[in-house]
Amino acid sequence: IIAYLIGSINFSVILSKKMAGFDVREKGSGNAGSTNMLRSVGKKAAAITLICDILKGVVSIGIAILLGNVLQIAGIAVVTGHTFPIFFGFKGGKGVATSLGVILMSNWQIGLICLVFALVLMVLTKMVSLGSCAAAVLFPVLTLFINTNYTVLSEDKSGKVYLIYSILLAVIVLFNHRSNIKRILNG
């Protein structure tokens, strides 16, 4: 519940209203995230939004660890809160930056690999959504091969818990990008 409520704090809506006088969901793509903030409000607002959204994931996982290693539940909850924020009419962002914070806190090595992979794809293709979706797919793949550097070791030595967790996070991000995926597939 705490992680969901933290996720529900939508910094793009708060900052766009404070800095530009409008709700960012009413401009550009209609999305409450860093990319639309960049296009609709500017670089400073986008950078602050990006940092705050990543920190939502970091803080939620930190609290989960302190409360008893419920890391996976908190990770899913904070991204769900970001996507469907109770404080903002259940219309939020796509969960990429918050997922990055969650992944970095879950396994810094996998998080950095996903981040670099996404950034390289974004630079090469000039498509933020392609980099985001590809990194989301990469996350579960990496959990199959990387068995070290997890913040909280699972009782399940086979790694199934982290695999299921990574698949759920990837599905949330991909679901939130379904319209982008259709546009990419249509050229």
What is the identity of the amino acid at 114?
C
- pLDDT tens profile 2-29: 999 999 999 999 999 999 999 999 998 8
Encode 57-69 in three state secondary structure.
Answer: HHHHHHHHHHHHC
The span from the CA of 23 to the CA of 13, in Å, is 5
The pLDDT score that the predictor gives to residue 114 is: 97
Where residue 75 falls among pLDDT bands split at 50, 70, 90? Answer: very high
H or E stretch at 29: none
**Residue 90 C-beta-side C-alpha neighbours within 13 Å:** 0
Asked whether the predicted pLDDT for residue 94 surpasses 70, the reply is yes
Hunting for tokens 């949330």 — which residue is that? 172
Q: Which residues, at least 6 apart from 169, have a Cβ–Cβ distance to it below 8 Å?
A: 75, 76, 79, 99, 102, 103, 136, 139
- Secondary structure (3-state) at 104: helix
Q: Is 141 exposed, middle or buried (0-12, 13-18, 19+ CB in 10 A)?
A: middle
pTM of the model: 0.92
- Secondary structure (3-state) at 93: coil
The span from the CA of 172 to the CA of 95, in Å, is 8
DSSP 155: S
The pLDDT score that the predictor gives to residue 156 is: 59
Whether 22 contacts 37, CB under 8 Å? no
Percent of the chain beyond pLDDT 90?
82
